[in-house]
Chain A
Amino acid sequence: MDLLMEGFANALTPENLMYAVIGVLLGTAVGVLPGIGPAMTVALLLPITYNVDPAGALIMFAGIYYGGMYGGSTTSILLNTPGESSSVVTALEGNKMAKGGRAAQALATAAIGSFVAGTIGSVLLVVLMPNIADLVVKLGAPSYFAIMLFALFTVTAVLGSSKVRGFISLFLGLTIALVGSQTGQARLTFGRPELADGIDVVVVAVAIFAIGEALWVAAHLRRRPLEIIPVGQPWMSRADWGRSWKPWLRGTAYGFPFGALPAGGAEVPTFLSYITERRLTKHPEEFGKGAIEGVAGPEAANNASAAGTLVPLLAIGLPTTATAAVMLLAIQSYGIQPGPQLMDTEPELVWALLASLFIANVLLLVLNLPMAPIWAKLLRIPRPYLYAGILFFAALGAYSVNFQPFDLGILLVLGLLGFAMRRFGLPVLPLIIGVILGPRLEEQLTTALAISQGDISTLWSEPVAVLVYVLMAVIAVVMAVAGWRRRGHDTDEIDRVLDRAAATDADDI
Chain B
Amino acid sequence: MNTSATAPPRRVDTAQYGLAAFVGLVGVVVLVDGLGLDPGFADQPVQPYAFSYAIGGALVVLGGLLAVATWRGDVAEPEEGEDVDLSGGLDWATLLQLVAVIVIVIALIGWLGWAIMGAFLFAASARILGSRRLLLDIGVGIAMSLLSWYGFYVGLGIPIPAGILDGVL
Our count of residue pairs bridging A and B at CB distance below 8 angstroms stands at 240
Q: Which residue of A lies closest to B140 (CB)?
A: A385
B94 CB within 8 Å of chain A: yes
Cα separation A504 to B1 with both chains bound (whole Å) = 28
Structural contact, A385 and B82, CB atoms closer than 8 A: no
Q: Which residue of A lies closest to B66 (CB)?
A: A164
Cα separation A167 to B16 with both chains bound (whole Å) = 16
Structural contact, A503 and B77, CB atoms closer than 8 A: yes
Structural contact, B90 and A405, CB atoms closer than 8 A: no
Q: How far, in Å, is A212 (CB) from chain B's closest CB?
A: 10
- Chain A residues lying within 8 Å of B98, measured Cβ to Cβ, are 214-215, 218, 391
Residues of A67-117 contacting chain B, CB below 8 A: 75, 79, 81, 83
Cα separation A453 to B42 with both chains bound (whole Å) = 11
- Chain B residues lying within 8 Å of A488, measured Cβ to Cβ, are 1
B146 CB within 8 Å of chain A: no
A162 CB within 8 Å of chain B: yes
Known: A167-B62, A392-B122. A403 touches B40 (CB 8 A): no
Q: How far, in Å, is B29 (CB) from chain A's closest CB?
A: 8
Q: Which residue of B lies closest to A507 (CB)?
A: B81
Structural contact, B131 and A422, CB atoms closer than 8 A: no
Q: How far, in Å, is A40 (CB) from chain B's closest CB?
A: 12
Structural contact, A178 and B52, CB atoms closer than 8 A: yes
- Chain B residues lying within 8 Å of A35, measured Cβ to Cβ, are 81-83
Structural contact, A221 and B45, CB atoms closer than 8 A: no
Structural contact, B16 and A175, CB atoms closer than 8 A: no
Residues of B67-125 contacting chain A, CB below 8 A: 69, 74, 76-86, 88, 90-92, 94-95, 98-99, 102-103, 105-107, 109-110, 114, 118, 121-123, 125
- Chain A residues lying within 8 Å of B21, measured Cβ to Cβ, are none
A219 CB within 8 Å of chain B: yes
Q: How far, in Å, is A111 (CB) from chain B's closest CB?
A: 20
Structural contact, B91 and A403, CB atoms closer than 8 A: no
Structural contact, B84 and A164, CB atoms closer than 8 A: no
Structural contact, B76 and A423, CB atoms closer than 8 A: yes
Structural contact, A185 and B38, CB atoms closer than 8 A: yes
Report the count of interface residues on B (CB-CB < 8 A).
83
- Chain B residues lying within 8 Å of A223, measured Cβ to Cβ, are 85, 130
1/0 per position for A278-306, CB-CB distance to B under 8 A? Answer: 00000000000000000000000000000
The contact of B77 among A386, A415, A499, by CB within 8 Å, is A499
Structural contact, A383 and B26, CB atoms closer than 8 A: no
The contact of B46 among A50, A81, A445, A504, by CB within 8 Å, is A445
1/0 per position for A377-413, CB-CB distance to B under 8 A? Answer: 0000011111111011001100110010100110110
- Chain A residues lying within 8 Å of B90, measured Cβ to Cβ, are 219-220, 423
- Chain A residues lying within 8 Å of B92, measured Cβ to Cβ, are 219
Known: A388-B126, A396-B114. A220 touches B30 (CB 8 A): no
A131 CB within 8 Å of chain B: no
Known: A215-B95, A387-B129, A395-B118. A83 touches B82 (CB 8 A): yes
Known: A217-B84, A222-B83. A425 touches B77 (CB 8 A): yes
Q: How far, in Å, is B60 (CB) from chain A's closest CB?
A: 10
Residues of A203-229 contacting chain B, CB below 8 A: 213-223, 226
**Majority SS at the chain B contact face:** helix
Q: How far, in Å, is A404 (CB) from chain B's closest CB?
A: 9
B165 CB within 8 Å of chain A: no
**Majority SS at the chain A contact face:** helix
Q: How far, in Å, is B30 (CB) from chain A's closest CB?
A: 6
B65 CB within 8 Å of chain A: yes
Known: A219-B90, A412-B99. A171 touches B59 (CB 8 A): yes
Q: Which residue of A lies closest to B23 (CB)?
A: A168
Q: Which residue of B lies closest to A455 (CB)?
A: B45
Q: Which one of A171, A218, A383 has the highest number of Cβ atoms from chain B below 10 Å of its Cβ?
A: A171
Structural contact, A387 and B81, CB atoms closer than 8 A: no
Structural contact, A174 and B55, CB atoms closer than 8 A: yes
Structural contact, A221 and B129, CB atoms closer than 8 A: yes
- Chain A residues lying within 8 Å of B12, measured Cβ to Cβ, are none
- Chain B residues lying within 8 Å of A507, measured Cβ to Cβ, are 79, 81
Structural contact, A226 and B51, CB atoms closer than 8 A: no
Structural contact, B52 and A442, CB atoms closer than 8 A: no
Structural contact, B80 and A503, CB atoms closer than 8 A: yes
A482 CB within 8 Å of chain B: no
Q: Which residue of A lies closest to B2 (CB)?
A: A488
Structural contact, A384 and B80, CB atoms closer than 8 A: no
The contact of B131 among A168, A172, A222, A384, by CB within 8 Å, is A384
B167 CB within 8 Å of chain A: no
Q: Which residue of A lies closest to B88 (CB)?
A: A220
Q: How far, in Å, is A140 (CB) from chain B's closest CB?
A: 15
Structural contact, A51 and B156, CB atoms closer than 8 A: yes
The contact of A216 among B30, B69, B79, B125, by CB within 8 Å, is B79
The contact of B79 among A387, A399, A412, A503, by CB within 8 Å, is A503
Besides A385-B140, A420-B19, A503-B79, 18 other CB < 8 A contacts?
Answer: A47-B156, A50-B156, A81-B82, A162-B69, A171-B27, A188-B29, A215-B95, A219-B95, A222-B85, A384-B125, A385-B131, A387-B129, A392-B122, A400-B158, A403-B160, A408-B102, A424-B15, A446-B45
7 contacts between A and B (CB under 8 A): A34-B83, A168-B63, A174-B51, A215-B98, A388-B122, A389-B122, A415-B102
Q: A residues bordering B, Cβ < 8 Å?
A: 34-35, 47-48, 50-52, 75, 79, 81, 83, 161-162, 164-165, 167-168, 171-172, 174-175, 178, 183-185, 187-188, 213-223, 226, 382-389, 391-392, 395-396, 399-400, 403, 405, 408-409, 411-412, 415-416, 419-420, 422-425, 438, 442, 445-446, 449-450, 453-454, 487-489, 499-500, 503-507
> Top 3 A-B pairs ranked by shortest CB distance?
A449-B45, A34-B82, A388-B125
